[in-house]
Structure 1
Amino acid sequence: MRKVLTVLAMLMAQPLAAQDATTAPGGTLRVLDKITGRTHDLELRNGETGTVGLLAVTMMECRFPTGNRTGDAFALLSIVYNNEPDPVFRGWMIASAPALNALDHQRYDVWALRCSSE
């Protein structure tokens, strides 16, 4: 029994294998203007910038689990407010967990919806 527990402990201590991801040509983001209550969907290609009000959102990359295009989207974004020199957000957003790494802004919410197929 002790050997079994030792082997289980060793297996559990091993890092999990990383999930393979495929880069899509772009993706869809949703932007909520908290003042007006309106939502806007931005369909952007990688490297493209879209604007909603005073917000400029650049999608640098969109990834999805290999073999599961409809699976979770991971979007690498840079978000600038009112042409400020520094972005208010720069990082990965995950479609299934938008609060994990969210834009912290008084007027806008942004979250990833899906990666595009073309």
Structure 2
Amino acid sequence: MAGTRSRLLPALGLALVLPVAAWAQTPPATPSPGDAAPPSEEIPPEATEPAPARPGSTEVPALPSEQPGKVTGVVLRGLDKITARTTVIEVPLDGMATFGTLTIRVRQCVEAPPDEKPESAAFLEITDTPPGQSPVVAFSGWMYASSPALSALEHPVYDVWVIDCKMVAPGKP
């Protein structure tokens, strides 16, 4: 039995090595059209999003979707993490509101059209003014009602997030 194994092992080794050697000598296959890289496409300039505004600038980048009706302000909710109290904050467009040591300015608020998924987004500038210190920009950018964590205020005491845009129905002043 030992003699049979010793004759079988070299034959088995050759059986495993020969197909590998033949495979290594096979010429490379020509690529099919599906293997080719996708053609490069140019992105039209209107499809690109504008760069975010700097904290000190008054320029507000516009979102591509505009809705009917006139936006008059935004409804926010503020959380004081120390007392665990929430407050509804209504801020007029281009107006300011105070929540604790925060000063909130709303530059723009947009809503998705009625035939799309409900979404409200507001461009906010939030400044923190602790007592006896100079004001510090705590947040400047778009905040989304459906995803508050996507673009959130990072503050040790307060949280602020968008609830909805305040709008006047079309046709009303």
- Calculate the TM-score normalised by the size of structure 1: 0.78
How far the C-alpha of 1:21 sits from its partner, in A, is 2.5
Higher relative contact order (CA 8 A, sep 6+): 1
How far the C-alpha of 1:70 sits from its partner, in A, is 8.9
Q: Which has the higher helix share?
A: 2
Change (3 A) 1:69 1:82: farther
Higher Cα radius of gyration: 2
- Calculate the TM-score normalised by the size of structure 2: 0.55
For the residue of structure 2 that corresponds to 1:104, the secondary structure is coil
Change (3 A) 1:99 1:14: farther
1:107 equivalent to 2:157? Answer yes
Structure 1 vs Structure 2: percent identity of aligned residues? 34
1:75 equivalent to 2:119? Answer no
Q: How many residue pairs end up in the alignment?
A: 114
> What runs of 5+ residues in structure 1 fail to find an aligned partner?
none
For the residue of structure 2 that corresponds to 1:25, the secondary structure is strand
1:48 is aligned to 95
RMSD between superposed Cα atoms in Å: 2.9
Distance 2:120 2:42 in 1: 26
1:90 equivalent to 2:140? Answer yes
Distance 1:73 1:97 in 2: 10
Q: Which has the higher strand share?
A: 1
